[in-house]
Structure 1
């Protein structure tokens, strides 16, 4: 009879996986070095998560902010601009950078043909665009889906720029400009 999963151990592993990938990258991720760093075995990781890809997707899911709740109560353009600026700032600083670094790596990996991360990446982008589209509709903005796409894609690029270059002054100005010029 199979041993029941230790859900507390599983949750701890997921948090540690996100930190590991943020520090070591996704491109060369191998279960043995990951397991050794986490103080477990690759066999135990497979027991808990079935595949390396499923491990990563589940780890990212635990880190995903509740985008819908974040923008649900936005009632005017000024509030939406501030909420987006706050979201950007949080994504580029402190603990937010760990999960954002990993998410950006997964989005890049999802571009490969037959990527095991494509479904997760598509869902993450679709959720953010749908949430912003709904907020923009409440503000009576034209072509809401295109505006939401511009914001999501543009801010993602600016966040990636900052994480790579470390130039916070320039990227903060760019994020603010994109937000202010897009939502009037």
Structure 2
């Protein structure tokens, strides 16, 4: 018989937010419970109790990061009474993705995305696929007249530009490349 997890306690939610803030600056690749617990004012034992395991904590952190992305998608969709079109939505997404204050979140996303590709059975499982589906759904609702191939190409271009931006910090060049791609299509 399947069990359902109760709603998180206030303490669990508080520690998750602190752990999420920590992971945005320290990453998840070499996450160790002891330094994390110390940094967020807890103990490894409490984290294990609340999240079940280190993998459970990682899954909760990934879900928390994904919630930020899903909120962006929800807010973007709500700004329009009618589908705005692929070029408009791609420019909005790029502005959001490329904002300096989102670099930690985007670095977190890249790390989680990559880990889900190389460790598909662990806590990262299905993260990459889920984010692709989420973003393609937004692009579809924003530009239903476009083909799936065109929406996929725009998504790939945005993600490639994001990787380049994160690697180089060159916002001007990557933004020019995004704009060039969007105006030539």
| TM-score between the two structures when normalised by the length of structure 1 | 0.80
- Spell out the pairing of 1:2-151 with structure 2 (5 A cutoff): 7-50=9-52, 51-66=56-71, 67-71=73-77, 73=80, 74-77=82-85, 80-113=86-119, 114-137=121-144, 140-141=145-146, 144-151=147-154
Q: Secondary structure at the match of 2:182?
A: helix
Change (3 A) 1:168 1:20: same
CA positional deviation for 1:156: 1.2
2:19–2:61: 8 Å Cα contact kept in structure 1? yes
- Cα separation, 1, equivalents of 2:17 and 2:175: 28
2:51–2:57: 8 Å Cα contact kept in structure 1? yes
- Cα separation, 2, equivalents of 1:112 and 1:52: 19
2:136–2:151: 8 Å Cα contact kept in structure 1? yes
> Structure 2: which 5+ runs fail to align?
1-5
Change (3 A) 1:135 1:90: closer
1:35–1:45: 8 Å Cα contact kept in structure 2? yes
Q: Secondary structure at the match of 1:116?
A: coil
Q: Secondary structure at the match of 1:34?
A: helix
- Cα separation, 2, equivalents of 1:132 and 1:6: 32
1:18–1:102: 8 Å Cα contact kept in structure 2? no
- Cα separation, 2, equivalents of 1:112 and 1:36: 29
Range that drifts further, 36-45 or 15-24: 15-24
Q: Cα RMSD between the aligned structures?
A: 2.4
Spell out, residue by residue over 1:94-145, the C-alpha distance to the aligned partner (whole angstroms, 9 max, x if none). 43222221111100101114343132221121111122123222xx23xx21
